[in-house]
Structure 1
Amino acid sequence: MSEVDTWRTWLTVLRTPGLGPGGLRERLLAANGDIDIVLAQLRRHPAQLGDEAAAWLDQPDEARLAADLAWLAEPGHRLLCCTEADFPPQLETIPQPPAALFLAGDASLLLHPQVAIVGARSASAAGLAHARGFARELGLAGFTVTSGMADGIDGAAHAGVLDAGLATVAVMGTGPDRVYPRKHHALARRIAAQGVLVTEFPPGTAARADHFPRRNRIIAGLALGTLVIEAGLQSGSLITARLAGEQGREVFALPGSIHNPLARGCHRLIRDGARLVESASEVVEALAPAAVALGVELASRLSGREGRKDAVPMAGASGWRGDSDYQRLLEALGHDPAALDELVARTGQSAAALSSMLLMLELEGMVEGLPGNRYQRLAH
């Protein structure tokens, strides 16, 4: 079966009314991950999902599927399915994990250690400055900043990272071909070129109020921790923070003036157990152990070495040093800055596996991440 045929099967199933990510994942589990078997079973028993699903499965909208396939055929676009090795494992433990994600940009960024920055849409000038500053510092420290591309804090966080020449992840509450709010069209183009746009909604999906809580669970799920900068008591950012806490992730909040209504949500989070932070270095220090652990897991998983106990580096200060893949990577780096795609060619490793290994080396002070997805070996 061709790649286009596989895409068409996935799109047909993803667009089946009433199925949802949970139902699809259950069926994939029963079918050993074979999407063709899932579609065949749905077509044998269409009434299980109702008349609308039965009508779709009997006669899918060919124009809609053709438009989906046209979007996927564009450079940099991808349908990342939960059956693929580089589907982000951190999403597997969230409520109703997505069955597939539509991506525009660099898919490997979803495997990087991420920090979510969220906050008020009607943020103050100080809040916007804090968002840009924290995002830039976290990006320079080796974390990928993730947010929802909303107005206010979200947009400022994305811009702060992009302006530093670094990458960012934007999780959308629309289809990948729609931008909300509309004023962020230029920002979305920058993110697609320098980072990655992510959504579980297929092309053509417009913004709806109920889409954004669903988007928020993915933001919280991708990130090792969530930082809230300015939020009212009724802010959607508090939903993201709550989801992060429920998923066992760290929650950080920036305090503010008692006279600022946009500080009240942060103060409530702090009273409820969120970490009060005043600098990006505090976030980095808190999340570094989790980032190292994620790097170890991904490097092992993506290089197909799970069965080799001697090949999995320990999450300690120097457990990677005896690992031959890490030694080859250091040799491939040489002494001049090298881009990730150059390292892929030199080592034969996948970009996702190398990203995780490079993070480990960066946290150990052996490698420095540079703008433009380049890396420099440091002298020791």
Structure 2
Amino acid sequence: MSERLEDIAVAMVANGKGLLAADESSGTIKKRFDSIGLESTADSRRDYREMLFRSDEAMKNYISGVILYDETIRQNAKDGTSLVKIMQDAGCIPGIKVDAGAKPLAGFPGETITEGLDGLRERLAEYYKLGARFSKWRAAISISDGLPTWGAVKQNAQALARYAALCQEAGIVPIVEPEVLMDGTPGNHSIERCYEVSEWVLKTVFDELYDARVVLEGMILKPNMVVAGQKAQKASVEQVAELTVRLLKSTVPSAVPGIAFLSGGQTEEEATAHLSAMNANFTMPWKLTFSYGRALQAAALSAWNGKSENVAAGQRAFAHRAKMNGLAATGGWKKDLEKAA
């Protein structure tokens, strides 16, 4: 495969394919495993991810790349094959989460700043040697009375831009992920408020990317969809699709090759339906696809249930969700296809 940033970015949003976010931190994967009564150990985490990565139907047909956690990019499968090689053999691009998580932002109560810039140049060089060709950095923006503040939006946008520039220097495509949260406190904001904040955030992020001399053709944007707060009345699929496309057209330069949405607290089917409605009903200058974690994995985790005899069932569940989202990435998903599973 080409090593040009622009070519890698285009391959990440290949037609009918999207990204699997398997970059859960140790704390997050423990919560997921707790839900099925499974102890989180290096071996159980490896077994779970190996089950996903060896799902040939999903990985070869619907997944373009996988975002990994530091532990996972270094792990070998039970037979000694590196997990990275298993992905590459399926035609998938390995990626890596490089941020150190959102921490309280000094002087800004209730807001966070994503850390991890210290030593990032050296870590990126190591990850490149381990096979990573793209990376991810998430900035979390909360909505409540008086939030977000300009200071928090600005500082997170600057951090995203510094990260993206370092990635491109290292030959790694940056996924730029500014997430306006649908949950949190109070979590009852309207879809119009989500639009307003998301527009502000994206405009600020692209201003900072420009100032940092980030090559837009060699990056992928991973934004939230425009949705109401988790405790507010849900908007229709059509309204979410229309407002999200309007937001993107007003903020995202056409030079960006692709936009891979996060699911951000939506149900599996909601995330699929919203993506499909956008692709089915609008003409856009970029590819719109998925970069889902829980919305791709929840059914697979439940079907697997931590048992080796359930690997095939877990892979079938994963393949189904991957196929549904692959269809959504071309606007071809239909609700009745869910029942046919």
TM-score by length of 2: 0.29
Bigger Rg, structure 1 or 2: 1
TM-score by length of 1: 0.27
Q: Which has the higher contact order (CA 8 A, sep 6+)?
A: 2
